[in-house]
Structure 1
Amino acid sequence: MARRRGQIDEKKSEAILDAAATLFADRGLSVSMEEIARVAGVSKQTLYNRFDSKLEIARAMAIQRADAIVAPLKTTAAPAEVLEALALLLLERICHPDKVSTMRGVMLMSTDAPEIAQAVYEAGPLRSLKLLAAWLSDQTRAGRLNVPDPEDAAEMFSGLVLGHGHLRAMLNVPQIDAARRLRRAREAARLFVAAYAPPQDRAR
């Protein structure tokens, strides 16, 4: 069955982002747009039709990662289940050995191109925090949690989950394994929900 044009275009965009992630991780900003196009298997014109600069590519990569991580927030599961799923995705994206090189690539860019680093932060981590904070506000209004300051709580949850994950990525030392990531995700969700339980649940 032939693919629709939209499906083909989406595949090309994914190929571009995958190629950019690999190249940025290896060499930072020294990579040219032409190299990204070549590794992605697309023409320069196709690349520029979608992204007019490396900044736009980096922003798109950050949005893609953020959307994947916060996907559980769109479900109607109980808070502990949602937070465990989000925590596990966060750990997989930051602490999985196959993902660490991408994190280091972004860090390499931060010195030479602070505007790209800022764009990546705003489109990725900051956007994720804002979406989590909005979800925490919704859960508080619904009486499922009691979170007085959702923005601070969102950032604290991220720190509780990741621990030294970012530091390990920067220093290129071994990350926690899959079994420990799962345990960490469950325990972080449990602790967070216990800390921000509504008053009626604390009284039980």
Structure 2
Amino acid sequence: MPRIAGQIDEKKSQAILEAASALFAEKGGSASMEEIARRAGVSKQTLYNRYASKVEIGRAIAEQRSEAITAPLRSGDDVRAVLTALASTLLNKLCTTEGRVAMRGVALMSPHAPDLAEAVYHAGPGESLRRLSAYLAEQDRLGTLRVPDPAGAAEMFTGMVMGHGHLRGILGVEEPPIDQSGRARETADRFIRAFAP
């Protein structure tokens, strides 16, 4: 059955993003559009119809990850539940084999494709920090927390959650076993105590 004009097959779009993510992890920014199309099982025309460049693909991948990671901020739960869920999501998405491979891919592309690395950062981790900062600013406005510098506090929170996880991931150093749910709860509790009104 032919598609309606303008209709996009989301399965193909997702296949493209998954193929690109795997290739970026393997080859960094040297992965070509042709390789992405081939691995995704789509024609080059289909690829270019959806994403005009690797920068657009990288941005779309990062946006998806940011949406998933920051979902707890939109839950409407109390602050402790939100921050615990956010910490847990960060650990589950970034301190796993897949997350570590993705971090190495971004590190690989940085020197050779700085425009791609910058797009990935701003649409992914940078956007996640902006969303957390906005959430913390709102908690300050509501009096739930006292956060005079929401942007700094957002960076502090993610640093507390991740510890050296990012660095180990980029370097390919084995992550020591951690109780992720315990770390998520403890981080949220300590952060709330630090910024209690």
Q: Report TM bin, short chain.
A: over 0.9
TM-score (ref. length: structure 2): 0.93
Given the superposition, is the C-alpha separation of residues 143 and 119 from structure 1 closer, same or farther in structure 2, using an over 3 Å criterion? same
Give the equivalent residue in structure 1 for 2:35. Answer: 35
Q: How far did residue 30 of structure 1 move?
A: 2.2
**Residue correspondence of structure 1 range 46-65 to structure 2 within 5 A:** 46-65=46-65
Give the equivalent residue in structure 2 for 1:117. Answer: 117
Q: Deviations over 1:154-191 (max 9, x none)?
A: 010010000001110111111244x6221111111010
Q: Which runs of 4+ in 1 moved over 4 A?
A: 4-8
Q: How far did residue 87 of structure 1 move?
A: 0.8
TM-score (ref. length: structure 1): 0.90
Q: Deviations over 1:29-81 (max 9, x none)?
A: 22211111111111111110110111111111111111110001101111011
Give the equivalent residue in structure 2 for 1:197. Answer: 196
1:156 matches 2:156:
yes
Give percent identity, aligned residues only. 57
CA distance in 2, matches of 1:97, 1:53: 27
1:180 matches 2:179:
yes
For the residue of structure 2 that corresponds to 1:153, the secondary structure is: helix
CA distance in 2, matches of 1:176, 1:39: 33
Give the equivalent residue in structure 2 for 1:103. Answer: 103
Letter in 2 for 1:63: E
Letter in 2 for 1:187: E
The answer to whether the 8 Å contact 1:28/1:108 transfers is yes
Q: CA RMSD in A?
A: 1.8
Q: Which moved more, 1:23-32 or 1:63-72?
A: 23-32
CA distance in 2, matches of 1:158, 1:7: 38
The answer to whether the 8 Å contact 1:16/1:47 transfers is yes
Letter in 2 for 1:182: S
